[in-house]
Structure 1
Amino acid sequence: MPDPSTYRPAPGTIPDTPGVYRFYDPSGRVIYVGKAKSLRQRLSSYFADVWTLHSRTQQMVTTASRVDWVTVGTEVEALQLEFNWIKAYDPRFNVRYRDDKSYPYLAVTLDEAYPRLQVMRGAKRKGVRYFGPYAHAWAIRETLDLLLRVFPARTCSSGVFKRAGQIGRPCLLGYIGKCSAPCVDRVSEAEHRQIVEDFCDFMAGKTDTMVKKLEREMYAASDELDFERAARIRDDLGALRRAVEKQAVVLGDGTDADVVAFADDPLEAAVQVFHVRGGRVRGQRGWIVEKTEDLSAGDLVHHFCSQIYGSEAGAEAADLPKELLVPELPADVDALTDWLSKLRGSRVTIRVPQRGDKKALAETVARNAQQSLQQHKLRRAGDLSTRSKALEEVAEALGMQTAPLRIECYDVSQIQGTDVVASMVVFEDGLARKSEYRRFAINGATDDVSAISEVLRRRFARYLDSKVELDELSGEEDVSRPGIDPTTGRPRKFAYPPQLVVVDGGQPQVNVAAQVLLDLGVDDIAICGLAKRLEEVWLPDDDFPVILPRASEGLYLLQRVRDEAHRFAITYHRQKRSKRMTASTLDAVPGLGEIRRKALLRHFGSLKRLKAASVEEVAEVHGIGRRTAESILRTLNGEAAPPEPGAKGEAAQTDRAARPAGGTT
């Protein structure tokens, strides 16, 4: 085990001031970022006896090869710098908030001319307002079904919206009154946006205002003896009340707060948060995080606030509530409060509830967190130990001195030498790291062996170039971000070498992979191949494969890595093949270049829609005239081109010239 004392800073060189520190691995990659009120006290704790440290901290300090730090003036500055560095470097040993499931949101695309209401998952983006998260997507659709009769906003996709406008006929929702049909100009852009804004106000908690407004309209219609309109508004009121009843009132004072609770063990923690808006629970969300060190509840609150609110508040300030109810205050609560208040644009309060309804709700959230942790343990029993066991089994089977913490797997996809592509997938600590995936278009290779040779040569040539660049930077005075490209500000591609390279194939693929690394002078990376036929593990220059037991966790890990590489490669291959087939069809149109082909496909979305369009609709595309449109449709429909002007006269003259001079015979 490496000794952290080899890179321990000299006594007295660490300042006793607030700051942020970074641990690096031997390749210059940042593996941990932390902040401290006193850098001297905090960093000294990492260089105590290794065996007294938390198991995850033990692994971090023995993986690292150096540490540096930056001093700042205040804790707020340290908090901001820590958040920026975690976002830039994505350190593998920092607490990472991975959802225990993918939560759906009710999203409103306010950045579009005609905003759309839809179910949305994944990362949040600017210009979209989110409500939720909800436990199930059907809950969002059920709520929308009730509210669309009151707020008939658009819910269709861009393709359906455009198509309806082209044919001048709305979809079914437009006919049954659940869409105001802006696609056919039944309402103007401003009127439709007002409908959407009213919907957002209602979902944000202004339910009483909307109900009172409808009640006034209903009574006014009744006084005017317009009983049909009054009955319609009465039904709308019923729909609104049913939607409101689905969200129970938990805080009678109309509080806007997030209630956070934790349940943890020495290795992991379950986090649950209830989003309360207007006194009602609008959504619930949960995470399972791996603890990088011995973290208290206050430390978990710090990591939760900095990662969740720091990243999401940048996209939508409304995500930050006025109040955070937590089980324990973090040590830097004042700095955290100031930072979150700055992000929100108004005061944010962090406190521990002591009594009453808020205390009772916090206890409910804590019970949910405890149940979530128990379910996680049952669902992934021994997951951490299983991953460690799998890596150890792989290392033992391949004769490696240490477990391969980073594994890269390569696969090739092709059909008889056409559209040859390759994929590279990355697993770190036994888990897929999708941000590191890469794909390659292969030119000149006709079989899997030559393709593997090309892709590995390209990948490790880039690694060697990055290594040379890092060596040059290491001589400079300021190497603050060795893992980040100074021109783009993003992590360097191919800068980090794997401990193990896996290729999809048998002995030929493994031997050519080993030869490529030997030619490039890379001699510290293990190589193996996994053959599909009998799941045999092949090593370079071995005549016989390594046979792992069918129940082996190491074999299961290699299979997962190989299958993920295959999935990623075949997806890219299908994309290229589809693009080539589409382009080849339009290539037959005389005078149609690449730019106009792309414009046509962007406008219509597919060849099928383009083929079904009229000449006038095709001619509406920028750069396409009527004659070109006619030529396109003739080619797609397999029709013969009409004779050129004057061709008939020339044929007649030729016919007359062939006749005898005396006239007809």
Structure 2
Amino acid sequence: MADPSTYRPAPGEISTSPGVYRFRDADGRVVYVGKAKNLRSRLSSYFQDPARLATKTRTMVFTAAAVEWTVVGSELEALQLEYTWIKQYRPRFNIMYRDDKSYPYLAVTMNEQFPRVQVMRGDKRPGVKYFGPFHPAKAIRETVDLMLRVFPVRTCSAGVFRRAQAQDRPCLLGYIGKCSAPCVGRISPAEHRELAQDFCDFMAGDATRFIRELEAAMGDAVADLRYEDAARLRDDVAALRRVFERNAVVLPENTEADIFALHSDELETAVQVFHIRQGRIRGQRGWVMDRVEDVGEDVMVEELLKQVYGDAADTERIPAEVLVPVMPSEAEQLTEWLSGLRGARVSIRVPQRGAKQDLLGTVRQNAEMALGLHKSRRTGDLTARSAALTELQEALEIAEPLLRIECYDISHSQGTDVVGSMVVMEDGLAKKKDYRRFNVTGEAARDDTASLRDVLRRRFSRLAAERREGVPLTGQIAEDGETGSEERRFAYPPSLVVVDGGAPQVAAAAEVLAELGLEDLPVVGLAKRLEEVWLPGDEFPLVLPRSSEGLFLLQRIRDESHRFAIAGHRSRRTKGMTASVLDEVPGLGPAKRQALLTHFGSTERMRAAGIEGLTEVAGIGPRLAEAVHTALTASAPAPADPSVASAPADTVTP
């Protein structure tokens, strides 16, 4: 750990204006981001007597090795830049709320030609309408099943949809009336989009109109003695009522609000939010965060609102009223920021009396129960992970804790389509955002050890280069300064490098690291046959007990690396095997090629359509259609020769 006095800037170097600052560790990682009305005053507070600092603040300043800052024009600009940097760098000492992933959303992909109703987690895709979250999870499936009676919107995947188009035959839902089957032309794209919009309007709260229309149609059917139609409409009305009445009215119908509550202990904080729309509870959502920083509830509320609404792809999800247990710090700037995102006034306040205060108490009870459930689920898993990491660290005699483990594997088919994989575990959990694949070609693909050398050299050359460059100097930076967070994250050093294999693979890995000047990175190999652990230079392997938690951890990351490598290899091999003749047509780019495949479904149907049929696709002119048709015709299989087919078995044909 660095001594804060070694990178403390001189007070005269720091501006007294508003600004944003970030602390970096010895590897260049941003470990903390903060904002201040007065940069000089705030930064000086971190470099006082360490004994006077809070425990976690003291840990942060000793973990850091440099501090940088940016001067901005106002406190609102500081709030915006702080949010941008936190989202970009995800610093370990900042408050980061983790979505507990318990509540799926009902989503309608209005950004597609044929909108699809599906279940999604998260709300980060623009052009997609989200409803929920739902609790319990099965409620969303019940809702979809009921809604499809009245609004038969497409629910199938893109692959199923294209296959139905190619076969000109709908799937099962199309036959039983729970899909309008736009794939086979039973309904036009415009009519299907209107149906999807009606679905969205109903889910958004405009249910009374649809129920009234169905009841009127049911009355007309009875008057015309169409009793079967009336019975079907009666069931449709009952289905919509069940969906509509699932959430009780809790506030006046014009209420649009989100109600937040928190519950904390010494280590973690749980958050719950109820989404109130048209006076009804339309959704519930929860987060949990580790308390890595000693801050008050007002700061936690501010960070929570920034994370929840800053990531909202659909700004309509920001309500007119945000109810919180305590007013956030910098409430005025936060209100102005949210109002700018929404395009209308947003009110942040603490309810003092009445139904809203009672509902806040209910949300708080949910937060208390959520934290208790989270802790009961996490205890066993956290204990096992900690034991595995500690046991592995002791067995390998590594001085530093195993915070980050990277594992590498090679997959190929007899030396072709070689793919290397890199998977990452941090704190014993997979970090899929940092997974990487490497396509290996040329001389490096001659054997496994050569491929492994190539993969490791490409992965660690950037780390070696950055170590030579050193950590950025402490000081002021421009507001539009270095933003290559993705590149820096890839260069972070692991605590342990694991390769799939025995002594040859370990020797190859150690050779590459020595060549790059990274001899301090520990390397081990896990051989599949006897699950032996090989270390560089050792004549005999290290054999861990079969019941060892450390061995289980190595096996999990090795198996995950193997799976990831095989998936990449299969994908690469499939692309090579299914290279279409369309790839060779001059002037036919990826977008037009995809448009042809989407329209026709297969090259056989394109060939049968002829030049005139090809020109019906947007962007395909007569000249390009002729080129496509020529290429398809040339690639068509030759018809069987009747004379050859009818020749006697002993006849030799030239």
Which residue in the other structure is 2:648 paired with? none
Which residue in the other structure is 1:99 paired with? 99
Distance 1:115 1:362, change over 3 A: same
Is 1:538 aligned with 2:530? Answer: no
Letter of the structure 1 residue corresponding to residue 507 of structure 2: N
Is 1:616 aligned with 2:608? Answer: yes
Contact 1:276 1:282 in 2 (8 A): yes
Contact 2:101 2:121 in 1 (8 A): no
**Worse-superposed segment, 323-332 or 86-95:** 86-95
Q: CA deviation at 1:320?
A: 1.3
Structure-to-structure mapping, 1:102-121, within 5 angstroms: 103-121=103-121
3-state SS of the aligned residue for 1:141? helix
Q: Deviations over 1:445-465 (max 9, x none)?
A: 333222222211222223334
Contact 1:548 1:555 in 2 (8 A): yes
3-state SS of the aligned residue for 2:345? coil
Contact 2:420 2:437 in 1 (8 A): yes
Match of 1:498 among 461, 484, 494: 494
**Worse-superposed segment, 46-55 or 371-380:** 46-55
> How far apart, CA to CA, are the structure 1 residues paired with 2:260 and 2:364?
8
> How far apart, CA to CA, are the structure 1 residues paired with 2:583 and 2:336?
65
3-state SS of the aligned residue for 1:88? helix
> How far apart, CA to CA, are the structure 2 residues paired with 1:590 and 1:12?
63
> How far apart, CA to CA, are the structure 2 residues paired with 1:383 and 1:344?
40
Is 1:28 aligned with 2:28? Answer: yes
Structure-to-structure mapping, 1:258-657, within 5 angstroms: 258-312=258-312, 315-381=313-379, 387=385, 390-443=388-441, 444=443, 445-467=445-467, 470=469, 478=477, 484-485=483-484, 490-492=486-488, 494-550=490-546, 552-583=548-579, 610=602, 615-616=607-608, 628-629=631-632, 632-634=635-637, 640=640
Contact 1:18 1:39 in 2 (8 A): yes
Letter of the structure 1 residue corresponding to residue 338 of structure 2: L
Distance 1:299 1:93, change over 3 A: same
3-state SS of the aligned residue for 2:578? helix
Q: CA deviation at 1:124?
A: 2.2
Contact 1:596 1:624 in 2 (8 A): no
Q: CA deviation at 1:599?
A: 8.0
Distance 1:204 1:545, change over 3 A: same
Letter of the structure 1 residue corresponding to residue 608 of structure 2: E
Contact 1:104 1:136 in 2 (8 A): no
Q: CA deviation at 1:476?
A: 11
> How far apart, CA to CA, are the structure 1 residues paired with 2:440 and 2:588?
24
Contact 1:102 1:122 in 2 (8 A): no
Distance 1:565 1:156, change over 3 A: closer
Distance 1:6 1:522, change over 3 A: same
Q: CA deviation at 1:533?
A: 3.6
Contact 1:408 1:427 in 2 (8 A): yes
**Worse-superposed segment, 334-343 or 556-565:** 556-565
Q: CA deviation at 1:85?
A: 0.9
Contact 2:26 2:471 in 1 (8 A): no
3-state SS of the aligned residue for 1:502? strand
RMSD: 3.8
Which ranges in structure 1 are unaligned for 5 or more consecutive residues?
644-653, 656-665
Letter of the structure 1 residue corresponding to residue 637 of structure 2: R
Contact 1:30 1:483 in 2 (8 A): no
Structure-to-structure mapping, 1:8-47, within 5 angstroms: 8-11=8-11, 13-47=13-47
Letter of the structure 1 residue corresponding to residue 350 of structure 2: V
- Amino-acid identity (%): 54
Which residue in the other structure is 1:662 paired with? none
Q: Deviations over 1:371-425 (max 9, x none)?
A: 2212222212166676555545444433433224333221112333332221112
> How far apart, CA to CA, are the structure 2 residues paired with 1:125 and 1:288?
23
> How far apart, CA to CA, are the structure 2 residues paired with 1:539 and 1:191?
65
> How far apart, CA to CA, are the structure 2 residues paired with 1:632 and 1:167?
22
3-state SS of the aligned residue for 1:149? helix
Q: CA deviation at 1:65?
A: 0.3
> How far apart, CA to CA, are the structure 2 residues paired with 1:385 and 1:4?
33
Letter of the structure 1 residue corresponding to residue 340 of structure 2: K
3-state SS of the aligned residue for 1:33? strand
3-state SS of the aligned residue for 2:124? coil
Distance 1:60 1:383, change over 3 A: farther
3-state SS of the aligned residue for 2:251? coil
* Count of paired positions: 631
Which residue in the other structure is 1:142 paired with? 142
3-state SS of the aligned residue for 1:634? coil
The structure number with the bigger radius of gyration is 1
Which residue in the other structure is 1:650 paired with? none
3-state SS of the aligned residue for 2:311? helix
Q: CA deviation at 1:123?
A: 5.3
3-state SS of the aligned residue for 1:347? coil
Distance 1:159 1:519, change over 3 A: closer
Q: CA deviation at 1:541?
A: 0.9
Q: CA deviation at 1:204?
A: 0.9
Contact 2:69 2:475 in 1 (8 A): no
Q: CA deviation at 1:81?
A: 0.5
Contact 2:70 2:479 in 1 (8 A): no
Q: CA deviation at 1:170?
A: 4.4
**Worse-superposed segment, 164-173 or 55-64:** 164-173
3-state SS of the aligned residue for 2:577? helix
3-state SS of the aligned residue for 1:380? helix
3-state SS of the aligned residue for 1:346? coil
3-state SS of the aligned residue for 1:31? strand
Q: Deviations over 1:583-641 (max 9, x none)?
A: 4xx68x99889979998898669xxx859868515986656756654554527xxx657
Distance 1:591 1:367, change over 3 A: closer
> How far apart, CA to CA, are the structure 1 residues paired with 2:180 and 2:340?
39
Contact 2:29 2:489 in 1 (8 A): no
Which ranges in structure 2 are unaligned for 5 or more consecutive residues?
615-624, 644-652
Contact 1:387 1:429 in 2 (8 A): yes
Distance 1:361 1:116, change over 3 A: same
Distance 1:480 1:464, change over 3 A: farther
> How far apart, CA to CA, are the structure 1 residues paired with 2:428 and 2:5?
28
Letter of the structure 2 residue corresponding to residue 193 of structure 1: R
